[in-house]
Amino acid sequence: MSIKTFREALNEAMAEEMARDNSVFLMGEEVAQYDGAYKVSKGLLAKFGAERVIDTPISEAGFAGLGVGAAMAGLRPIIEMMTWNFAIQAFDQIINHAAKMCYMSGGQFNIPLVFRGPNGAAHMLGAQHSQNLDPLLVNVPGLKIVSVSTPADGKGLLKSAIRDNNPVIFFESEMMYGMKGEVPDGEYLIPLGVADIKRPGTEVTLLTWGKITHLALRAANQLANDENIDVEVIDLRSLVPLDEALIYASVRKTHRVVIVEENWPYASVGSHLAERIQWHCFDDLDAPIAKISQRAVPIPYADNLEHAALPQVEQVIAAVKAVCYR
């Protein structure tokens, strides 16, 4: 084990996979000479050269489509989106092409491609730079969706994503790039579709993923200290495929569920989780499922309004107490 920042862990994942497989290349805005807008690709240009680490014009639709074509022709692109907000420019290529090519070609053209970059609100970036796009993309069959919360998970899952033969959407967060954590040394892969219990517990199952996992953990620790409620925090890590077995096992143990998401509430990932759980675990539930989402507003700029729009620890605590009827 060694301590690494999130950006170092992601960087290592890319460097190792590029060293391992010549067909892997990295393309995006500022990824080469500037080392990445958030310095995630630091040093990769020097290591792998300008043929494999490529600065693009600000042409998201164009280079996303280029990635799809390169993947059809046998390469394994990593396409960095400076943030997912800008990837909206490329949704035609992601949704109409990357996601469907395999299916509509009768399995002839799979797309081994990773679209990766930061997702969700940071701090006071305003409505166009603070969006969490999980729900928009989980809705599309043909995309695998990963959302990570720790450096180790980042490394292990990004390596698997690069090796996966399908398009993988990989969500990071600019708020986490500097965060440090233990990362196993040597070859380290985490399979897609396996959730992780970030905090074992017995009384309430708290489902979460991505950056907000840390807020959920803070709430859980506070609940243990102040309210004596033992919360199990499950980091889904992969939204598609989804580790349903682990979720149901936890619910059958705790009988209570709180979902904490950075999504807008309407038809969110949490909505889907709630639907699955009530169907599979109806008789196990001792309380209705609670869901904490961000407010259904474009994320405002002003500090106090942004605070009001994003999920906060107190809301999670209140929701956990509510499902415990306390």
Partner 1 sequence: MLRSLCATSSDKEFTIDLYQKMLRYRLFEERVNLAYTKQKFSGFCHLHIGQEAVCAGIGACLTKDDYVIASYRSHTQALNKGISPEQVFAELFGKASGCSAGKGGSMHMFSREHRFMGGHGIVGSQVPIATGIAFAIRYRQEKLVAICYLGDGAMNQGQIYEAFNMASLWKLPVIFVIENNQYGMGTDYHRVTSVSEFTSRAPGFNLPWRVIDGMNVLTVYQEFLPIITEVRAKMLPYLVEMKTYRYLGHSVSDPATYRSKEELSHYRQNDPLSQMADYLKGKGFAREDEFEQWDNDIRAEINAAEVRAEAAAAPDEASVDEHVFVD
- Per CB under 6 A, residues contacting ligand TPP are 29, 58, 60, 82, 86, 89
Q: From partner 1, ligand TPP, none, which one binds at residue 265 (CB under 5 to 8 Å depending on kind)? A: none
* Catalytic residue status for 262: no
- From the candidates 8, 29, 60, 232, give the one annotated as an active-site residue: 60
One of 59, 105, 165, 202 touching partner 1 (CB under 8 A): 59
Instruction: Give min distance, CB of 254 to ligand TPP, in A.
Output: 43
Q: From ligand TPP, partner 1, none, which one binds at residue 16 (CB under 5 to 8 Å depending on kind)? A: none
If one asks whether residue 296 binds partner 1 (CB under 8 A), the answer comes out as yes
User: What backbone phi and psi angles, to 5 degrees, belong to 7?
Assistant: -65, -35
Instruction: Give min distance, CB of 181 to partner 1, in A.
Output: 24
If one asks whether residue 86 binds partner 1 (CB under 8 A), the answer comes out as yes
Q: From ligand TPP, partner 1, none, which one binds at residue 295 (CB under 5 to 8 Å depending on kind)? A: partner 1
Which is nearer to ligand TPP, 175 or 322 (by Cβ)? 175
If one asks whether residue 309 binds partner 1 (CB under 8 A), the answer comes out as yes
Q: From ligand TPP, partner 1, none, which one binds at residue 61 (CB under 5 to 8 Å depending on kind)? A: partner 1
Instruction: Give min distance, CB of 248 to ligand TPP, in A.
Output: 40
One of 15, 75, 95, 124 touching partner 1 (CB under 8 A): 124
Query: Using H for helix, E for strand and C for coil, what is the string for the chain?
Result: CEEEEHHHHHHHHHHHHHHHCCCEEEEECCCCCCCCCCCCCCCHHHHHCCCCEEECCCCHHHHHHHHHHHHHCCCEEEEECCCHHHHHHHHHHHHHHHCCHHHHCCCCCCCCCEEEEECCCCCCCCHHHCCCCHHHHHCCCCCEEEECCCHHHHHHHHHHHHHCCCCEEEEECCCCCCCEEEECCCCCCCCCCCCEEEECCCCEEEEECHHHHHHHHHHHHHHHHHHCCCEEEEECCEEECCCHHHHHHHHHHHCCEEEECCCCCCCCHHHHHHHHHHHHHHHHCCCCCEEECCCCCCCCCCHHHHHHHCCCHHHHHHHHHHHCCC
One of 66, 249, 305, 318 touching partner 1 (CB under 8 A): 305
Which is nearer to partner 1, 104 or 267 (by Cβ)? 267
State the catalytic residues.
Answer: 60, 129
Q: List residues binding partner 1 (CB under 8 A).
A: 29-30, 33-34, 37, 55-59, 61-62, 85-86, 88-89, 123-129, 295-298, 300-305, 308-309
